[in-house]
Each structure stands twice: as structure tokens, then as C-alpha cells.
């Protein structure tokens, strides 16, 4: 039997937010289409540039606004990669990585709770016949959070979709959160580094940063790629052994 929300008194205060999120997001096909259109609009260059400029102009409050925006983007299926890269551009590698890590895992946790307690029937109706989800559900039933960790290390499932799917499985909430947080760190750092490197390159081009700093950052970036690729390769092998590797040209 799955745990009830009474087992988690520390997250009861999220109930109102989750109820609003559910009513907004799961309201129907028309709203789903509107959400998709919003995702496209949100990625338009001018909108992204204006958003970054706005965040930068907020000073210290920009950290909070950015985090809240990232959480909402995760819950409402908006692309997080753009925001992750933006974190590197706005806040640098270390601060940006911490900010994205906290925001992404918070959003993932909220989506999980929506699927488990407030929109379970809707999510099940949409994904219960998906062969890939069925295999993942079975594997998590046997290995628990370990499968979640491996899946977070490799892009076998889209991030925003997987957050809801995990809510249907038997994995417990806090192990899910911890496994997700750890598993998302390599990818988070990589994307944040991309944004940071772009900023350093722009500064170097305008004389705001020396070439040596740019070279060091580029070397560190390549090292980050190497580590991420290596970790992903290990995760893929483990998932393949568990018969969860993505099938070629699979659309499910």
C-alpha cells in the first residue's frame, strides 16, 4: 500500500499550492495545448533575454525569483535547460549550480506529490499503458530509489514527465527526492557551466576578462563533459542490465 500524505506532516503546507497546480495543469486538453504554446513562447530569444535582464536587475531578490520561476517551470512542463544555462550566465558556476539544484529537486518533488495524491487517476490514464513506464515501475518495485538514481543520470526519460511518472511508482517520497537530487547534479553542473562559459567568453571579447581565465574555464568545462559522459555511460549500462535501456527509434 502506498503511503498517505498523513505520513509527511512536513509537506502539508504544500497542499494549497499543489491543489492550484493540479487544477491549472490537469484541467483539460485545451489547457495542455496552451501550456505547450507557452513553452514555445518562453523560449523565444527576446523573451529569454528580457527575463535574464529582469532577474539581473532585481539584485538579491533575483535569486528568489529565479528559484521560484524554475520550480514553476518544472511543474508546468516548461523547458528547464534554458533556465539552467541562464543560471550560469547570471550567477556563475557554483552559485548557479546550487540554485538550480535546489530549485529543480523542489519542482521534481512537487510534481511527484501532484501525481501521487492529487492527480493520480489522470496521470495513470495517460501513462499506464506505456511499455517503458511499465518496465520502470516494475524495476523500481524491485530496486526502489536505485533505479530512480540511475534514470536521473541518463536522459532515458524527459525530466518534467518523469517527475510525474515517479509519483505513480512505489518509491517512497524522501528516497525519491534524495536519489533525484544526487542523480541530477552532473547534468546540472554541465548546463550551468555552458552558461558561465558563454559569459566568460563575452567578457574576454570585450576586455572584461583575461584570455587565461577563459582557457581555464574551457578546460574545466571539458573535464565536466568527460565526467558527465562517463557517469552517464555507467548509468546506461546498469539500466541495460535491468532491461530499461531505451530501444532504438522508440517513441514510447
**Three-state SS sequence of the chain:** CCCCHHHCHHHHHHHHHHHHHHHHHCCCHHHHHHHHHHHHHHCCHHHHHHHHHHHHHCCCHHHHHHHHHHHHHHHCCCCHHHHHHHHHHHHCHHHHHHHHHHHHHHHHHHHHHHHHHHCHHHHHHHHCCCHHHHHHHHHHHHHCHHHHHHHHHCCCCCHHHHHHHHCCCCCCHHHHHHHHHHHHHHHHHHHHHHHHHHHHHHHHHCCCCCHHHHHHHHHHHHHHHHHHHHHHHHHHHHHHHCCCCCCCCCCC
Instruction: Tell me whether residue 169 is in a domain.
Output: yes
Instruction: Tell me whether residue 171 is in a domain.
Output: yes
pLDDT of residue 26: 40
Instruction: Tell me whether residue 252 is in a domain.
Output: no
Range of the domain at 43: 5-241
pLDDT of residue 30: 34
pLDDT of residue 9: 41
Contacts of 51 (CB under 8 A, 6+ apart): 69, 86
pTM above 0.85, yes or no: no
pLDDT of residue 95: 95
As for how many domains the chain has, the answer is 1
pLDDT of residue 31: 35
Say if CB 132 and CB 102 are below 8 A apart. Answer: no
pLDDT of residue 217: 62
Instruction: Tell me whether residue 251 is in a domain.
Output: no
Mean pLDDT by 10-residue block, N- to C-terminus, for the chain (252 residues)?
A: 42 41 40 42 66 88 94 88 90 94 96 90 77 80 86 81 89 94 92 81 58 63 72 74 54 39
Amino acid at each position: 500500500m502506498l503511503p498517505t500524505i498523513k505520513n509527511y506532516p512536513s509537506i502539508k503546507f504544500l497542499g494549497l499550492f499543489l491543489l492550484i497546480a493540479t487544477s491549472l495543469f490537469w484541467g483539460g486538453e485545451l489547457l495542455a495545448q496552451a501550456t505547450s504554446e507557452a513553452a514555445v513562447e518562453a523560449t523565444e530569444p527576446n523573451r529569454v533575454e528580457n527575463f535574464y535582464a529582469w532577474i539581473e536587475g532585481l539584485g538579491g531578490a533575483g535569486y528568489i525569483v529565479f528559484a521560484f520561476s524554475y520550480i514553476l517551470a518544472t511543474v508546468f512542463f516548461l523547458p528547464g535547460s534554458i533556465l539552467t544555462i541562464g543560471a550560469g550566465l547570471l550567477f556563475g558556476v557554483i552559485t548557479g549550480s546550487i540554485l538550480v539544484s535546489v530549485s529543480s529537486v523542489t519542482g521534481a518533488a512537487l510534481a511527484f506529490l501532484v501525481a501521487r495524491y492529487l492527480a493520480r487517476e489522470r496521470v495513470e490514464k495517460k501513462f499506464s499503458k506505456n511499455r517503458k513506464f511499465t518496465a520502470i515501475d516494475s524495476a523500481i518495485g524491485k530496486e526502489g530509489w536505485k533505479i530512480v538514481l540511475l534514470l536521473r543520470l541518463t536522459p532515458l526519460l524527459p525530466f518534467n514527465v518523469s517527475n510525474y511518472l515517479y509519483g505513480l511508482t512505489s518509491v517512497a517520497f524522501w528516497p525519491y527526492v534524495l536519489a533525484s537530487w544526487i542523480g541530477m547534479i552532473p547534468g546540472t553542473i554541465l548546463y550551468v557551466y555552458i552558461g558561465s562559459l558563454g559569459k566568460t567568453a563575452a567578457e574576454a571579447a570585450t576586455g572584461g576578462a583575461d584570455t587565461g581565465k577563459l582557457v581555464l574555464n574551457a578546460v574545466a568545462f571539458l573535464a565536466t563533459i568527460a565526467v558527465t559522459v562517463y557517469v552517464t555511460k555507467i548509468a546506461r549500462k546498469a539500466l541495460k542490465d535491468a532491461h530499461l535501456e531505451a530501444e532504438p527509434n522508440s517513441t514510447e
